Structure 1
Amino acid sequence: MKKFLFIMIAMLLLVGCSAKDKTEEDQQDESVMKDTDGSSGVFPLTGKSTDGEKKRRAVAVMINNHPQARPQSGLSEADIVYELLAEGDITRLLAVFQSETPDQIGPIRSARDYYIELAKGLDCLYVCHGNSPEAKTMLDKGYVDNLNGLYYDGTLFQRTTDRKAPHNSYTSFENIEKGAKEKGYELTGAPEPFAFLTEEEAKGLQGDAALNIDVVYGDATSNVHYEYEKAEEKYTRYSNGEQTVEYQSKKPVLLDNIFIIEAAHQVVDDKGRRKIDLKSGGKGYLLQKGKINEVEWVNKDDRIIPVINGKEVGLVTGKTWVNVIPNQPGIDKNVSFDAQEN
């Protein structure tokens, strides 16, 4: 009888353990399946948690940054914005959207080859209005899926009456998706995620205090100023002394990472168009949580990544702005920072 009871207890324990193991396995499988179909996890370009769709394909839009195009629409909803010189000393912006889909985006300007390279690195659908000869060659060859306002002016791209061309071309996410479907482009396939700091790592960030930062592009109209807002733990941005806000709502653009890098620039024609070397790497600064650290940047799989001693540096979860400046006269001459509040 005792032997029978011992056998029965052993069998019950075995069944219980098996059920427990199966439950844990099933839960793990369910978790993996939930993450795979995009219904949980984090957005790859912000590191922010989401219970919704995270598998959306990223869209990169050429944004006009001429003084007559400010304030712009949609920048506060961009995950990453890349700012580089176009012709002269005026910058243009490549706004990358993946976690948010604004109703209005613009004003939209024409393509340049180095912006297309940045969009390609994140496997973006690229949106522009016009192009340089070099950019046209890349777009015509299908280097990147694209929608060009030259062919959709008045349909997918709308002209507003409150500004004059070329500072008045706008589109919406609804129209971008419509155009993508017409051309047979995929609308899913999120980019590979960047490395992000944990909440604890972000709280423990080290570095020199940097509450006010100036980035010089040459012309005062394109020079950038950042201020750290301690209450928000984010940076606000200014162009030529004017805060960067949404055109209609006046909502400010708030940033969690400012990544400033230097790269070789070369003027290549009489229009002042440039080649910008985004392959070779170089010096940079990374600003997070009111601190600044000197870093290097590398091109890893066509993406611009901050590194220290060859190791990728994590971003703070949230929005990122990347300023690319000429390596002449050098980053130390074009960037200044102050530990004092205004």
Structure 2
Amino acid sequence: MRKLLFYIVLLIMFVLLAACSDDKQEAEDNGTKENAVEEKDQAQAPKDTKKPNTFPLTGIKTDQKVNDRIVSVMVNNHTKARPQTGLSKADIVFEFLAEGQITRFLAMFQSEKPDVVGPVRSAREYYFEIADGYDALYIYHGAANFINDMVKNRGIEHLNGSIYDNDGHLFKRESFRNAPHNSYLQFGAVYDVASQKGYEVKHSYEPLPFLSEDEAKNISGDAAKHVEIVYSDNSPMEIVEYEYDETSEKYTRYSDQEKTVELNSEEPIQVDNIFIVETHHEVIDSAGRREIDITSGGNGYLIQKGKVQQVKWENRDGRIIPVKDGKPVKFVPGKTWINVVPSSPGIGQSVTISN
């Protein structure tokens, strides 16, 4: 009797253990199926890779906040000032004749911020008018008294290096070059010093017109693999060239047959858009200073992706943009250099574009 009872208890325990094991296996199977369904759903779900913000001067998408004030800097282009520092990080660079046949740059920074920019040189009216049109801080080093008066009287928000000369915080004089080619902006101090002057250092901007990725693949126009802009073929020679690289789909810049590079890294200056603008220039003094018309519009070339389009240029709300049939022509997302040339001898005489 006892032996029979023992076997009955043993049988009940076996049945209970088997039932528990089946329940556990079923739960594991169900969990595996649920995980597989969830993973499948995640794989099939569309991934949101869209970046919500756009850098206004380059058209590049970003996850970052885009509210830093644009900083524009007068950069020296005398032969004794080359190679320069910081130009590879500029979103837009304007190149104008400054004195005699020597050009000078107005470099605009927002999407990228170099540690140092320079050498920095003196102000001109048309440069600070451009900076003001883009709502940018204007940074220069020195100017004629009448130019300084213009800057102050017109309310141009500026930082003048002659006031901060070699303070070690905003400006530093380097020993490897002689004045006036050795003043360098310490970019990290710009917003701090600007805030101390009561200037806004945050600003929202409407982006320039940019092509979509698909539109950029279908740009029309004649072949433009090599671009030459002659500001002067006498001494001092001032010839700018751009050479197209089909691999990167960018143009490498040259000054007087020397590649334009960063001073320390020797990184070449490469751009996505070359915008050549023709306008009236007038010499106003014995030093060769000029007045340059940046408002009336005129003829231009827009060069992108190995192609050139003949366009007009207009100043719309302070910005220089290409226009065709009254409508803005869009830029390729990326870096832009705007070369301004005199209407005499004219864009047809001073600019050569070839395949």
Residue 172 of structure 1 pairs with residue 190 of structure 2: no
Q: How many percent identity over aligned positions?
A: 52
What letter is aligned with 1:324?
V
Match of 1:264 among 280, 287, 298: 280
Corresponding position of 1:338: 354
Which residue is 2:221 aligned to? 207
Q: Which residue of 1 aligns with 2:198?
A: 184
- Which letter does structure 2 place at the counterpart of 1:49? K
1:235 is aligned to 2:255: no
Aligned equivalents of 1:189 and 1:221: distance in 2?
40
Match of 1:318 among 334, 339, 355: 334
Counterparts of 1:245 and 1:50, CA distance in 2: 26
Corresponding residue number in structure 2 for 1:131: 143
Matches of 1:192 and 1:264 in 2, distance apart? 28
Tell me the distance in 2 between the aligned counterparts of 1:203 and 1:282. Answer: 27
The letter of the residue matching 2:251 is Y
In 2, the alpha carbon distance for the partners of 1:194 and 1:134 equals 33
Kept in 2, the 8 Å contact 1:259–1:286? The answer is yes
Per the alignment, in what secondary structure is the counterpart of residue 232 of structure 2?
A: coil
Question: Match of 1:64?
Answer: 76
How many Å separate the matches in 2 of 1:93 and 1:197?
26
Q: Please say which structure displays the higher CA radius of gyration.
A: 2
Q: Gaps (5+ residues) in structure 1?
A: 1-30
CA contact (8 A) 2:232 2:239 kept: yes
Partners of 1:247 and 1:238 in 2: how far apart?
Answer: 14
2:73 and 2:107 in contact (8 A); partners too:
yes
Displacement of 1:134 in angstroms is 3.8
Structure-2 residue corresponding to 1:304: 320
Conservation of the 8 A alpha-carbon contact between 1:221 and 1:239 = no
Residue pair 1:40, 1:54 contacting (<8 A) in 2 also: no
In 2: Cα distance, 1:254 partner to 1:134 partner: 36
* Cα distance, 1:144 vs structure 2: 1.4
Name 2:297's counterpart in structure 1.
281
Distance in 2 between the 1:153 and 1:288 partners? 39
**Residue of structure 2 in register with 1:163 after alignment:** 177
> What is the aligned partner in structure 2 of residue 255 from structure 1?
271
Q: Secondary structure at the match of 1:293?
A: strand
Measured after TM superposition, the shift of residue 217 of structure 1 is: 0.4
- CA–CA separation in structure 2 for the residues paired with 1:133 and 1:324: 25
Closer, same or farther: CA 142–329 of 1 in aligned 2, 3 Å: closer
- Matched residue SS, 2:301: strand
CA distance in 1, matches of 2:344, 2:187: 38
For residues 192-246 of structure 1, what are the alpha-carbon distances to aligned partners after superposition, in whole Å with 9 as ceiling and x for unaligned? 2100000000000010001011001014632100000000000000000111111
Q: 1:260 touches 1:323 (CA, 8 Å); kept in 2?
A: yes
TM-score normalised by structure 1 residue count:
0.86
Residue in 2 that maps onto 1:3: none
Q: d(CA) in 2 for partners of 1:55 and 1:163?
A: 35
Structure 2: gaps (5+ residues) = 1-47
SS of 1:280's equivalent in the other structure is: coil
Judge conservation of contact 1:122–1:192 (CA < 8 Å) in 2. no
